[in-house]
Chains A and B, each alone.
Chain A
Amino acid sequence: MKQITLRYLILPDGRVEERVEGVQGQACRALTERVEACLGSLQRQVATAEGFQAVSTGVIQAQPQHQPRLG
């Protein structure tokens, strides 16, 4: 038995960041296609063989309007 984890970050403007963990190959896509079909249009997808952190940082930097204001 293996645990599959889906992590979602639903941003204040309604955009969704989705991260899938613990699924091999094509099963990974099939699993989330139904959720994505109900939700809307896929803007960006990255395979994350090396883990989530690097990818996540990249996306957040690309959307600076959601960074908390400083000062």
Chain B
Amino acid sequence: MSHFSTIKTELRDRQALLAAIGDLGHTASEGERPVRGYRGQVVTADLAIAQDNGADIGFRWSEASGCYELVTDLDLWQQPQPLERFLARLTQRYALRTILAATAQEGFQVTEQSDRLDGAIELVVTRWSD
């Protein structure tokens, strides 16, 4: 018997998040730093992407939810795509990075990886077992 699952991705793993940020062409700096968030309130982020106007895009670890949350001041958003699209793309790359790392650790090898016209990524990994 095999199974089929649908999983809602959450940004839980720091390394995969850093890799996903890199995939989108950004560099995140690590270490605590103040970032302007909702209505200009300053919060401490654990990772941050610098924007030219000085309003960083931060990621703050939330103990309550067990994942990273994006923190930024939307009035100063400078990315070419809206926040929702940015976060969706980031989450998709995060999912890919997480699956690649976790399955490699389990001894799987990538046999297929392709970008579909509808924007989804198809990935097939295999391994032999007794």
Contact = CB atoms under 8 A, between A and B. Distances in A.
Interface of A: 1-25, 28-29, 31-32, 34-36, 38-49, 52, 55-56, 59, 66, 68
A24 B88 CA distance: 34
5 contacts: A9-B122, A11-B119, A15-B9, A16-B99, A19-B4
Contacts of B9: 14-16, 39-40
Of the candidates B4, B6, B8, B91, the one having the most CB atoms from chain A within 10 angstroms of its own CB is B4
Interface of B is mostly: mixed
B3 A46 contact: yes
B5 to A, nearest CB: 5
Contact of A12 (B12, B111, B120): B120
B81 interface: no
Interface residues of B, number: 45
Contacts of B64: none
Given A16-B99, A45-B3, A55-B4, A1 B88 contact: no
Contact of A29 (B3, B13, B103, B128): B3
B23 to A, nearest CB: 12
Given A2-B129, A7-B122, A15-B7, 6 more contacts: A3-B126, A10-B96, A24-B1, A44-B6, A48-B1, A59-B6
